[in-house]
Amino acid sequence: MCRADPGARGALRAGLRRDLDHPRVRVMHRLLTPRLPEECDDRTAQAHYTVAALIAAQPRHAFALDQEDDEDSADEQGQEVLGESGETDEAATASQRTPYGTSFGAALGQAVTAKGTSMRLSAAESRVNLLTRQSPRGLHLHLPSAVNQVRATDTAVDWGQLLADLVHWPTHAGQISRRWLQDFYRITAAADQD
């Protein structure tokens, strides 16, 4: 969508760090409502809008030919984590949702170990620690700058997994935070040993 339609990209980008009811987000409804699960709750919709805005905020050259596939897989993965009614299945535990994709903590770790332009370890560690302490609202506010730092190193972000994590953050923040931190430290520790 972002590669083919610059107007759509601009409309989606306007939703960065904004709540669903913000006036600038209204233009996003036309583009995203058909992609949302039926009767989804506000936290699920907010997660979809946030990920769509993060994707749209990337530099124009970041939209490769397979970008549409990435956006569609993010939609599919976000819908897979929802039950039949469009709400999360509270009985589903983190272990039942495995295997996971690449967590955002892993992306931060890969940004530190990236060849060429890499992220400083101290900056990435501060960022992952900040993100994992956030409320859902705080996470939506802090993610754009973190994603920009990761994307500046040409490190890929698993949009589908990020969407799933945002949807489940209100109820499983501890488990998701632990996974982000463990993935980050696993990758950076392996790089230190090399």
**Burial environment of residue 35 by CB neighbours within 10 A (0 to 12, 13 to 18, 19 or more):** middle
The reported pLDDT for the residue numbered 104 is 98
Residues in the chain: 194
Q: Is the pLDDT assigned to residue 77 strictly greater than 70?
A: no
Least trusted range by pLDDT, from 12-26, 30-44, 82-96: 82-96
Confidence of residue 193 (pLDDT cuts 50, 70, 90): low
67 part of a folded domain: yes
CATH number at residue 67: 1.10.520.40
- Domain count within the chain: 1
Q: Over the range 123-137, which residues count as b (16 or more CB within 10 Å of their CB) and which as e?
A: ebbebbeebbebebe
pLDDT at 161: 97
Minimum mean pLDDT range among 20-34, 129-143, 175-189: 20-34
* Residue 141 domain-assigned (yes or no): yes
Residue 1 domain flag? no
**Is residue 106 in some structural domain?**
yes
Segment 129-141, tens digit of pLDDT: 999 999 999 999 9
Residue 183, domain member (yes or no): yes
In a domain, 144, yes or no: yes
Residue 8's pLDDT is what? Answer: 84
* Cα–Cα distance, 72 to 155 (Å, whole number): 19
Confidence of residue 9 (pLDDT cuts 50, 70, 90): confident
Q: What was the pLDDT predicted at 65?
A: 47
CA–CA distance from 152 to each of 66, 68, 114, 115 (Å)?
A: 19, 20, 10, 12
What pTM was computed for the model? 0.80
Structural domain range at position 164: 6-193
Q: Apex CA 134: angle with CA 56 and CA 81, to 5°?
A: 60
Q: What is the pLDDT of residues 97-116, one digit of tens each?
A: 446 799 999 999 999 999 88
Task: Give the dihedral of Cα atoms 157, 105, 40, 134; nearest 10 deg.
Answer: -130
